[in-house]
Amino acid sequence: MTLELRNVAKRVGAQTHIHETNLVIAEGSFNILLGTTLSGKTTLMQLMAGIQKPSSGEVWFRGRNVTQMPVQKRNVSMVYQQFINYANLTVYENIASPLRLAKLPEAEVASRVNKAAELLRLVPMLQRRPHELSGGQQQRTAIARAIVKDSDLILLDEPLANLDYKLREELRDELPKLFAGRNAIVIYATTEPTEALLFGGNTATLHEGRVTQFGPTSQTYRRPRDLITAQVFSDPPINTAKVVKRDGEIVLSERIKWPAGKAGTAIPDGEYTLAIRPHHISPIDHGNGRAMVEGRVLVTELSGSESVIHFDLNGRTWVSQSHGIHPFEVGSTARLYVDVEQSLFFNAKRELVT
Amino acid sequence: MRKRYLIPLIYIIFLMLPIYWLVNMSFKTTNEILGGFTLYPHQLTLSNYVTIFTDPSWYMGYVNSITYVVMNTVLSVLVALPAAYAFSRYRFLGDKHLFFWLLSNRMAPAAVFALPFLQLYSAVGLFDTHLAVALAHTLFNIPLAVWILEGFMSGVPKELDETAYVDGYPFWKFFIRIFIPTIAAGIGVAAFFCFMFSWVELLLAKTLTAVAAKPIAAAMTKTASTSGYELGLLAAAGVLTIVPGAFVIYFVRNYIAKGFALGRV
């Protein structure tokens, strides 16, 4: 009872938009596609929905090969980043349109539309046209249309990206509630790692048309299989450096080195790429085996309760993200404490070791 | 402050002068027109208009013109809609060249096509029919309509199409129920330009007709009749020729502004 992509690939001309992908997605699950713009999120969703046909491979749904089945025959719904509604229809008719096409009786249509409108707080707007609504209400209309017909597969392609901050938070809270208790597979595409972490569920990280990892969100975050996944799933960008492990020490350069600690002891001596998330570097020494590094401050971003410090470490730009306000002068030398136990080590093939 | 209005005022007077003079003449008798310079009709007469509305050789000119113009507009827009959709939504071999070639049809003077059309239509028995003129004008109007509509269609995100398919709309249902209403403004603009070009085009319309489908513009070229010069009558016909265009412009003026904003037209 699942959606399965079997060796699905999409090529357009000489370009490969999606490399061979295998995914098994369980019914009733909430799944996140995480990747930068142009990483292939939308294409992958369109392949799942049947809006595009794969160049090779098969799509299976509930044990049936649906690769050649047109999108109209599949029970899917989709919400885009742009607010897509039928401009010539009222909000009511917009929400009702999938039901009308399914030829449901009028009473059933009315009750379902009203229920969806209530959930998305659209009841006072039902007789208006989409262009008379605010952006948030337009997107709510699109979401209502997506949930009204009990789809098997609900695709949400960055649905909150074009909304302002307040509305985004509001809808982000509401979304999982809308899908709770349904059997539908929900796929949610986003460019923001934070959003993926807030939703939980499963996360597939995408990079240049390749799914680099798919699994429970927290696992994908904590144990990225390779460096690319770690980079995709980190905001601000994850800090990396070439290091050598020898004599129980992690060595960045002659001047910058620290004891291997628990994380570093497990790996054999040799060359690695070290990756460490920005929030594991702080200007405050919290003790328990943190390594002190000194770097020239390049940029300081201070928000209300958080400091993001970009600094130069051995020729690389690293970022520290910490609570509290730490107003370092640009150009000054900052002492920062690295929680080395949180280090991730990748080998020459960029795979996670340990 | 008065000076600010002076230049626009002069400009408007210059613009309106020929039209005023035409309207002025249409209410005069031919004698008064030829008799001397008068700023307004001293002997106001409606006889010119009465003649036009009662004499079939005059009013049938309008009927003929409107018939082939409407036929042409409907035909052009109907054919242009699917073509524009294809240009806007699909990439195919040589699509850009084809698009430009279509447009280049508008660059040839109508006179170039007058002879081949005349010969062809005579051969297939279409000569002196409304359809002949309507078809001849599509040569210019379909490319124009495709070009205008393609601009409007490309302004509609393709995600709309996809959302409709996902919701279960078959292609044609989507096209007619959702897409066409969405680009209604564009269709209005395209229809307006087809109407206008067909309405003012004289050469082909005159060449391809004799009696049965003779357009008003051709009727107006018979300046002299058995009763001598009939300048008042011609002026009245001219006024009535401006009216449909002005009428159409009034209704589509907002859409045209939109068309300009979208970078087409």
Residues A125-156 pLDDT 10s: 999 999 999 988 999 999 999 999 889 999 99
Answer for the pair A85, A94: CB distance below 8 angstroms, yes or no: yes
Residue A66: pLDDT band (50, 70, 90) is very high
CB of A31 within 8 Å of a chain B CB? The answer is no
Write out the two tokens for A263: 């994380």
φ, ψ at A159 (rounded to 5°): -65, -20
Q: Tell me what the mean pLDDT of segment B180-191 comes to.
A: 90
Residue A275: pLDDT band (50, 70, 90) is very high
Write out the two tokens for A163: 């909304």
Write out the two tokens for B144: 């124009």
Testing the interface with B: which of A42, A51, A52, A147 to mutate, by most B Cβ within 10 A? Answer: A51
- Kindly list the residues from chain B whose CB atom is less than 8 angstroms away from the CB atom of residue A101: 167-169, 173
CB contact under 8 A, B162 and A88: no
Predicted local confidence at residue B226, as pLDDT: 61
CB of B159 within 8 Å of a chain A CB? The answer is yes
Closest-CA distance, A54 to chain B, in angstroms, reads 16
Q: Tell me what the mean pLDDT of segment B246-250 comes to.
A: 85
CB of A78 within 8 Å of a chain B CB? The answer is yes
- Of B37-51, B158-172, B195-209, highest mean pLDDT: B158-172
Residue B260: pLDDT band (50, 70, 90) is low
Residue B259: pLDDT band (50, 70, 90) is low
Task: Give the whole-angstrom CA distance, residue A284 versus residue A275.
Answer: 20
DSSP state of A237: P
Predicted local confidence at residue B264, as pLDDT: 58
Greater pLDDT, A204 or B36: A204
Is-cis flag, bond preceding A124, omega within 30?
no
**Chain-centre distance of CA B170, in angstroms?**
35
Question: Strand, helix or coil at B249?
Answer: helix
CB contact under 8 A, B168 and A98: yes
Residue A20: pLDDT band (50, 70, 90) is very high
CB contact under 8 A, A51 and B182: no
Nearest beta carbon to residue B157 from set A77, A82, A101: A82
CB of B155 within 8 Å of a chain A CB? The answer is no
Task: Give the whole-angstrom CA distance, residue B113 versus residue B116.
Answer: 6
Residues A207-239 pLDDT 10s: 999 999 999 999 999 999 999 999 999 988 999
CB of A97 within 8 Å of a chain B CB? The answer is yes
Answer for the pair A123, A115: CB distance below 8 angstroms, yes or no: no
H helices of chain B, in order, are 3-26, 30-35, 47-54, 56-89, 95-104, 110-124, 130-154, 158-167, 171-174, 180-182, 184-200, 203-207, 216-220, 231-261
Task: Give the whole-angstrom CA distance, residue A51 versus residue A73.
Answer: 11
Residue in A closest to B162 by C-alpha: A51
Residue B120: pLDDT band (50, 70, 90) is very high
The region that residue A175 occupies, defined by phi over 0 for left and psi between -120 and 50 for alpha, beta otherwise, is alpha
For A42-94, the DSSP string reads HHHHHHHHTSS--SEEEEEETTEE-TTS-GGGS-EEEE-SS----TTS-HHHH
Closest-CA distance, A76 to chain B, in angstroms, reads 6
CB of A77 within 8 Å of a chain B CB? The answer is yes
Answer for the pair A47, A7: CB distance below 8 angstroms, yes or no: no
Nearest beta carbon to residue B163 from set A84, A102, A149: A84
Please report the domains of chain B, with CATH numbers, ordered by start residue: 56-223+236-261 (1.10.3720.10)
Check whether B141 has a pLDDT greater than 70: yes
CB of B228 within 8 Å of a chain A CB? The answer is no
CA distances in angstroms from B102 to A117, A188, A223, B51, B98, listed in the order given: 47, 43, 58, 43, 6
Residue A97: pLDDT band (50, 70, 90) is very high
Task: Give the whole-angstrom CA distance, residue B7 versus residue B15.
Answer: 12
**Chain-centre distance of CA A142, in angstroms?**
21
Predicted local confidence at residue A179, as pLDDT: 86
Residues B7-27 pLDDT 10s: 999 999 999 999 999 999 899
CB contact under 8 A, B169 and A101: yes
The third-level CATH classification (topology) of the domain covering A2-232 is Rossmann fold (3.40.50)
Check whether B263 has a pLDDT greater than 60: no
Average pLDDT, chain A: 91
- Kindly list the residues from chain B whose CB atom is less than 8 angstroms away from the CB atom of residue A149: 167
Instruction: Among A31-40, B90-99, B146-155, B250-259, name the one with the lowest average pLDDT.
Output: B250-259
CB contact under 8 A, A72 and B165: yes
First to last CA, chain B: 36
CB of A130 within 8 Å of a chain B CB? The answer is no
Task: Give the whole-angstrom CA distance, residue B233 versus residue B237.
Answer: 6
Q: Tell me what the mean pLDDT of segment B81-96 comes to.
A: 91
Task: Give the whole-angstrom CA distance, residue B138 versus residue B151.
Answer: 19
Greater pLDDT, A319 or B38: A319
Check whether A241 has a pLDDT greater than 70: yes
What's A251-297 look like in SS3? ECCCCCEEECHHHHHCCCCEEEEEEECHHHEECCCCCCCCEEEEEEE
Per-residue b or e along A18-27, where b marks 16 or more CB atoms closer than 10 Å to that residue's CB = bebbebebee
Answer for the pair A165, A195: CB distance below 8 angstroms, yes or no: no
Task: Give the whole-angstrom CA distance, residue A274 versus residue A249.
Answer: 13
CA distances in angstroms from A285 to A166, A261, A339, B186, listed in the order given: 35, 16, 9, 65
Q: Tell me what the mean pLDDT of segment B171-190 comes to.
A: 92
Task: Give the whole-angstrom CA distance, residue A242 versus residue A84.
Answer: 46
Q: Tell me what the mean pLDDT of segment B144-165 comes to.
A: 92
Average pLDDT, chain B: 87
What superfamily in CATH does domain A239-346 come from?
A: Nucleic acid-binding proteins (2.40.50.140)
Evaluate whether ipTM surpasses 0.90.
Answer: no
Check whether A198 has a pLDDT greater than 60: yes
Closest-CA distance, A215 to chain B, in angstroms, reads 27
Check whether B201 has a pLDDT greater than 60: yes
CB contact under 8 A, A80 and B163: yes
Residue B215: pLDDT band (50, 70, 90) is confident
Closest of A42, A48, A46, A43 to residue A23, by C-alpha: A48
Task: Give the whole-angstrom CA distance, residue A353 versus residue A330.
Answer: 36
Closest-CA distance, B155 to chain A, in angstroms, reads 13
Task: Establish, for the pair of chains A and B, how many residue pairs have beta carbons separated by less than 8 Å.
Answer: 52
Count of CB atoms situated within 10 Å of the CB of A296: 13
Residues B218-243 pLDDT 10s: 877 766 566 667 788 888 988 998 88
How many CA atoms within 13 Å lie on the side-chain side of B145?
Answer: 29
Predicted local confidence at residue B1, as pLDDT: 59
**Chain-centre distance of CA A202, in angstroms?**
10
Predicted local confidence at residue B247, as pLDDT: 86
CB of B119 within 8 Å of a chain A CB? The answer is no
Closest-CA distance, A340 to chain B, in angstroms, reads 46
Task: Give the whole-angstrom CA distance, residue A17 versus residue A11.
Answer: 6
Question: Strand, helix or coil at B26?
Answer: helix
| Residue ranges of domains in chain A | 2-232, 239-346
In chain A, what percentage of residues exceed pLDDT 90? Answer: 70
DSSP state of A102: T
CB of B178 within 8 Å of a chain A CB? The answer is yes
Predicted local confidence at residue B104, as pLDDT: 81
Residues A108-128 pLDDT 10s: 999 999 999 998 889 999 999
CB of B93 within 8 Å of a chain A CB? The answer is no
